[in-house]
């Protein structure tokens, strides 16, 4: 545990008592603060009370009297579409509102760092798509190279479940827009922006607010090194804002669509080859085509970002390449779950928006595509060219499967509704050389609690039929 600093002897209110909320309460206590907490969920309150966390309904009149700070969980709205009543009350009283990420950055350093040969560092990854894979890949590369590292944030453990940093350790954090938008301290040593596509627009008041939330990771603390995907205009804009000019190597530009030899430092992937360039010279390259854990150009972009981060941390190409080749992939993200009869079965349940689904569809030449669910804003038109180029047939799931299928113009689509029916039909019709791919292009909440449950159901349906 990393104790929270700066609130010794003060009362700090916590809104949200999931796993990270309870860990934050423990860290506040360890740092000498007095946490009081609330969650609108009865089971969450009961779990917190069982740990000895004091409960207080923070929405009630006077509940915030004497409170030094309100710490809220990422899933609770603080601005759009409207603030939670407790947050609105804190704002009215002028009480600072923060989250666990902000508390982590203000508390991470300790007196022990002065005794280390190498001060621990933090790598923070944000973006719309690929941030989980990029974060996990950086952690894997570091670990395989024998460097101490921990992974946390929006993936794996909460930040206050981390162990105190060791000499030379690297903390790798995946950060969502919900986390970066509110954190009052954001001071990573290396910050990564993967890409941007429309998502969570209601929560951020539109695309401008969504980009602004991501941009805060770079603007608030000023990382020593920024790794920026420049295949969208927002990334180009961000790189331009952070850089003093073409010779400024503090910004490492990443692309899978263009050559960037004019940049002071860049990492690009084209036709399956990753290449690192510095001041117009290629200094390293690696073949990604045979890396099963990183299929497709979207994963090659993730590999470029991870390579850039590892290089910024001082690793050499020969230390990084084995980690790329041994990376097993994350569950529900281009996860190869089986190969049988010449057919591959891939679980990309995390492809919850159109852009992520497009990347998955481009990764395989001939696809039996399982898609559908709770459709997001913007429609499906943007994925039709990729689907028409690679999809042999679509098998549509979800409560609104028929309406979803009607939007797949030019694609042979079967309305299946359930995962079992879709998998059974796709497996019956799949031919050698094809891929049965779950890439829903939609949220899961019409049928499942989350995308993980949906992916697990796909894995179950496939493996039970292959026995």
Residue 12 half-sphere exposure toward CB, CA atoms < 13 A: 32
205 marked as part of a ligand binding site: no
240: which residues sit within 8 A by CB, 6+ positions away?
Answer: none
195 marked as part of a ligand binding site: no
CA 179 centroid distance within chain: 11
131 marked as part of a ligand binding site: yes
464 marked as part of a ligand binding site: no
What is the dihedral angle through the alpha carbons of 184, 156, 317, 360, rounded to the nearest 10 degrees?
Answer: -100
> How far is residue 386's CA from residue 198's CA, in Å, rounded to a whole number?
18
134 marked as part of a ligand binding site: no
Q: What is the 3-state secondary structure (H, E, C) of 82-95?
A: CCCHHHHHHHHHCC
102: which residues sit within 8 A by CB, 6+ positions away?
Answer: 182, 183, 184, 185, 186
129 marked as part of a ligand binding site: yes
Q: In what order do the strands lie in the sheet with 54-55?
A: 54-55, 34-38, 11-15, 67-72, 97-98
* Residue 195 · residue 128 · CB < 8 Å: yes
Which token pair is 79? 């601005």
444 marked as part of a ligand binding site: no
Q: How does 252-283 read in b/e, with b if 16+ C-beta sit within 10 Å?
A: bbbbbeeebeebbbbbbbeeeebbbbbeeeee
417: left (phi over 0), alpha (psi -120 to 50) or beta: left
Residues annotated within the binding site for ATP are 127-133
Residues annotated within the binding site are 127-133
């Amino acid at each position: 545990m990393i104790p929270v600093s700066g609130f010794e002897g003060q009362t700090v209110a916590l809104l949200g008592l999931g796993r990270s909320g309870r860990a934050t309460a423990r860290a506040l206590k360890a740092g000498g603060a007095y946490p009081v907490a609330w969650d609108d969920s009865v089971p969450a309150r009961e779990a917190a009370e069982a740990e000895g966390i004091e409960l207080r309904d923070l929405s009630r009149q006077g509940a915030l009297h004497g409170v030094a700070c309100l710490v809220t969980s990422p899933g609770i709205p603080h601005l759009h579409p409207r603030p939670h009543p407790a947050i609105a009350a804190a704002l009215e009283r002028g009480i600072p509102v923060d989250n666990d990420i902000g508390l982590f950055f203000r508390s991470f350093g300790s007196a022990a760092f002065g005794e280390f040969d190498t001060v621990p560092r933090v790598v923070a990854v944000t973006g719309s798509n690929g941030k989980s894979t990029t974060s996990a890949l950086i952690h894997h590369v570091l670990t395989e190279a024998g460097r101490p590292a921990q992974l946390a944030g929006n993936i794996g453990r909460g930040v206050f479940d981390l162990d105190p940093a060791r000499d030379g350790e690297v903390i790798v954090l995946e950060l969502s827009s919900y986390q970066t938008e509110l954190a009052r301290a954001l001071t990573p040593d290396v910050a990564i922006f993967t890409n941007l596509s429309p998502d969570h627009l209601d929560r951020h008041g539109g695309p401008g607010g969504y980009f602004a939330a991501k941009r805060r990771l770079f603007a608030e603390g000023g990382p020593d090194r920024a790794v920026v995907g420049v295949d969208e205009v927002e990334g180009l804009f961000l790189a331009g804002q952070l850089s003093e000019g073409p010779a400024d190597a503090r910004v490492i530009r990443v692309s899978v669509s263009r050559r960037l030899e004019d940049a002071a430092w860049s990492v690009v992937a084209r036709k399956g080859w990753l290449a690192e360039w510095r001041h117009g010279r290629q200094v390293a390259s690696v073949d990604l085509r045979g890396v099963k854990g990183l299929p497709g150009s979207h994963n090659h972009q993730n590999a470029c970002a991870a390579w850039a981060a590892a290089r910024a941390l001082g690793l050499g190409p020969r230390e990084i390449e084995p980690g790329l080749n041994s990376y097993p992939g994350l569950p529900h993200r281009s996860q190869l779950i089986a190969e049988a009869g010449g057919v591959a079965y891939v679980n990309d349940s995390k492809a919850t928006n159109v852009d992520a689904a497009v990347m998955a569809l481009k990764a395989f030449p001939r696809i039996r595509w399982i898609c559908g669910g709770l459709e997001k804003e913007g429609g499906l038109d943007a994925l039709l060219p990729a689907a028409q180029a690679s999809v042999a047939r679509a098998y549509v799931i979800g409560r609104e499967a028929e309406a979803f299928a009607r939007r797949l113009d030019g694609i042979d689509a079967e309305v299946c509704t359930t995962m079992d029916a879709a998998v059974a039909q796709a497996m019956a019709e799949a031919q050698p050389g094809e891929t049965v791919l779950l890439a829903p292009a939609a949220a899961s909440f019409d049928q499942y609690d989350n995308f993980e449950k949906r992916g697990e159901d796909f894995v179950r349906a496939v493996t039970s039929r292959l026995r």
